[in-house]
Homo-oligomer: A and B are copies of this chain.
């Protein structure tokens, strides 16, 4: 019996997956979580064989949870399940020690199959996504450039970002300009969008 942790913030999706995976004869959903905090807590309590983690969660990223889990619960395999097949996500998932990476596409049966293969230690990755990740290349942005772009997504001004990061406005503008150059875009908004769609932030 495969002991499974299910971390997914969208209630109906979580409920549906739990019901369907429990119908599988060899899978037992032993814990459910809607936030990364709950996921960590439940994992340490229930000690599952496989953790199925969504990336986008309200209080943080499933990628960070994966990294923590690798240290705290080394025997647990991690399978990332996400809406967006972003190249940078896949790269970060691998660096965080994930064994598999699936997009929320295709039937639930694929998911059950992936869980079994991940438990056997096999790496499960969508081939098209793997190719995209390789062709897209690594994240060109430095830490600070990511920070300032993160602020730019929701319309913060240079002054806002500078205050939040305790930097001077000149510095923020320089980082923004560098990020715009590296992403090959025309302004901070396009830069932030490209960075997001590539999974760089």
Name the B residues within 8 Å of A188 (CB-CB).
Answer: 155
Given A20-B20, A155-B193, the answer on whether A13 and B104 have CB atoms closer than 8 Å is yes
Q: Is the CB of B193 within 8 A of A104?
A: no
Out of B17, B106, B108, B155, which one reaches A190, CB within 8 Å? B155
27 CB-based A-B contacts, threshold 8 Å: A10-B104, A10-B105, A11-B104, A11-B106, A11-B107, A12-B13, A12-B104, A12-B107, A12-B111, A13-B16, A15-B106, A16-B16, A16-B17, A16-B20, A16-B108, A20-B20, A154-B189, A154-B190, A155-B188, A155-B189, A155-B190, A155-B191, A155-B192, A155-B193, A157-B186, A157-B187, A189-B189
Residues of A within 8 A of B (CB): 10-13, 15-17, 19-20, 83, 104-108, 111, 154-155, 157, 185-193
- Inter-chain CA distance A193–B193, complex, in Å, is 13
Copies per complex of this chain: 2
Q: Is the CB of A12 within 8 A of B186?
A: no
Of A13, A106, A154, A185, most buried by chain B (CB within 10 Å of CB) is A13
- Inter-chain CA distance A108–B11, complex, in Å, is 9
- Inter-chain CA distance A91–B189, complex, in Å, is 29
Out of B10, B105, B154, which one reaches A11, CB within 8 Å? B105
Q: Is the CB of B193 within 8 A of A15?
A: no
- Inter-chain CA distance A83–B17, complex, in Å, is 16
